[in-house]
Amino acid sequence: MSKAVNNMSMGIVEPQQRMKHLTQYGNLIEVDKNMQITRYYRSGTEMLRMANVYQNEGNHENAFILYMRYMTLFIEKIRQHPDYGSIKADVKAITKRIKDEILPTTEKLRAKLLSHYQREYEQFLASKEAERVRELQREQANRQAAAAAAANAIPSLIPANLHVQIDANNQPTAPDLSLLDQVVYPNDFPTGANRTNLPSSGLLLPNAAAADAATNDKTANAASKPAFDRNQKPQYSRADSLLAGSLRTVNVPGDTMEVFLKLAYNNTSKNIETCGVLAGHLAHNELNITHIITPQQSGTPDSCNTMHEEEIFDVQDQLQLVTLGWIHTHPTQTAFLSSVDLHTHCSYQIMMPEAIAIVCAPKYNTTGFFILTPHYGLEYIAQCRETGFHPHPNDPPLFMDAQHIKVDAQSKIKVIDLRR
């Protein structure tokens, strides 16, 4: 993923090249053979859900990326999963949907983006040509100004008050030779270290005038430096975009932890962990947690397992919710991710890079917002084949505090408790 981002950060100008890189970025999805294949079907459903939101909001680049990833996943990559043979019927239905709906939608987006990129490219070329013309005009004006300044700086070697007197009979008379003493000749100027002791007559030597004109020219050039960078190229607007390769903001309602601790109170009093799924919506390229779905589950003092996941999926489909992570308690311990927690969270984060794990530690009155470290921990845990509680290295760290969350004190969490 980082390679594609680096290529795009160079600023692809040509529309076809921009489209090529966007398509390549949309193909960036891999299948973990150790992940339950049903997870990929849930991820695909949520991928389409977010793609539709992006399209409706006019964020065509991100919509295109997600549609491409969906098609790459279910046309190509899912076949690499060892359980693919058991779900061929489902793949057949998905393939039909891709052919009838998703592919036509994606091609329309491709044409729209290509047209947009072409307009940007033409505007860029026009701006560059206009700036080239303005630069030539500035250079010509500067040359003319420098020539005029140099011409004005060449002094007359005869004072203005030195003139030939004409008598009444129009016969010239001898000039007043005493005025010649006021003439300053170039050879009269000292050289070398004594050059600073110039007379205060106001007359300048030609090369001194040129130096002064050059100084004025530099000042004028500095003042008139163009604001438009001719090397600037149209490129992807990567701010708040999947193209940035950065994590989108996850907004957490301010009362989430308090509400969940009340839900977990009975279990906590018995030293039993409680867990719930965090779900919500995508809007304006931010992920908003709106619901805690508390599934049927079995817990121990240091673990919690969900049951009947299909009930969670039904609720999410009814409310068009996207999975954004999970929340659980540590009744007697501090807030951290145990080895089992790391593996649990890996299944969330590998499907949704922004997915968070919230850990509530009521005994210590602390809360942690965690993710696996994207460039090490996620890959390490995905490759780990051990189960149950087992040791992991602490250096480099496998998890970290989530930096992409924002707690919103104004919003309130909703609860769907499937345990009842």
51 exposure class (CB count in 10 Å sphere: 0-12, 13-18, 19+): buried
100 domain-assigned? yes
Peptide bond into 104 cis (omega under 30): no
Whole-number average pLDDT of the chain = 81
- Which helix (H) or strand (E) segment is 215 a member of? helix 206-223
214, 261: one domain? no
364, 379: one domain? yes
Write the DSSP assignment of 32-49 as a string of letters: -TTS-HHHHHHHHHHHHH
Identify the domain boundary among 212, 242, 272: 242
Nearest Cα to Cα of residue 69 among 129, 96, 41, 29: 29
Cβ-contact 98, 107 below 8 angstroms: no
- pLDDT score recorded for residue 394: 86
Rounded CA separation 368/269 (Å): 20
Over range 19-46, report the average pLDDT: 90
The percent helix, strand, coil of the chain (3-state, each to 5) is: 50, 15, 35
Domain that holds residue 90: 1-156+176-186+204-242
Rounded CA separation 52/47 (Å): 9
| Bridge pairing between strands 366-372 and 399-401 | antiparallel
281, 212: one domain? no
311, 216: one domain? no
Cβ-contact 358, 324 below 8 angstroms: no
Identify the domain boundary among 242, 272, 289: 242
Rounded CA separation 182/162 (Å): 9
pLDDT tens, position by position, 393-417: 888 999 999 999 999 999 999 999 9
How many structural domains compose the chain?
2
127 domain-assigned? yes
225, 269: one domain? no
- pLDDT score recorded for residue 149: 87
Rounded CA separation 14/121 (Å): 7
Cβ-contact 134, 226 below 8 angstroms: yes
Does residue 44 have a pLDDT over 70?
yes
CATH of the domain at 408: 3.40.140.10
Rounded CA separation 103/353 (Å): 25
- Residues of the chain above pLDDT 70, percent: 76
- pLDDT score recorded for residue 364: 96
192 domain-assigned? no
Residue type, position 102, single letter: I
298, 407: one domain? yes
CATH of the domain at 35: 1.20.58.80
- Which helix (H) or strand (E) segment is 66 a member of? helix 60-75
Nearest Cα to Cα of residue 254 among 108, 85, 409: 409
Model confidence band, residue 34 (pLDDT cutoffs 50, 70, 90) = confident
Global pTM exceeds 0.75: no
2, 131: one domain? yes
Rounded CA separation 251/17 (Å): 35
Neighbours of 83 (CB within 10 A): 13
253, 236: one domain? no
386 domain-assigned? yes
- pLDDT score recorded for residue 244: 65
Cβ-contact 22, 65 below 8 angstroms: yes
In degrees, to the nearest 5, what angle opens at C-alpha 412 toward C-alphas 408 and 418?
130
232, 288: one domain? no
Cβ-contact 251, 408 below 8 angstroms: yes
199 domain-assigned? no
10 or 46: which leads in pLDDT: 46
171 domain-assigned? no
pLDDT tens, position by position, 346-391: 999 999 999 999 999 999 999 999 999 998 999 999 989 888 888 8
232, 272: one domain? no
User: Residue 48, CB half-sphere, CA atoms under 13 Å: how many?
Assistant: 19
- pLDDT score recorded for residue 86: 83
Does residue 274 have a pLDDT over 60?
yes
The mean-pLDDT minimum among 125-139, 202-216, 285-299 falls in 202-216
DSSP H stretches of helix in 279-403: 309-319, 339-349, 377-383
149, 277: one domain? no
Does residue 35 have a pLDDT over 60?
yes
Structure tokens at 361: 């530690």
DSSP H stretches of helix in 80-182: 88-97, 103-153
89, 213: one domain? yes
162 domain-assigned? no
163 domain-assigned? no
Contacts of 269 (CB under 8 A, 6+ apart): none
pLDDT tens, position by position, 215-233: 444 444 444 444 434 344 4
Structure tokens at 40: 């990929």
- pLDDT score recorded for residue 25: 87
- pLDDT score recorded for residue 350: 92
Give the residue carrying structure tokens 């030597």: 205
Question: 299-315: string of b/e by CB count within 10 Å (b at 16+)?
Answer: beebbbebeeeeebbeb
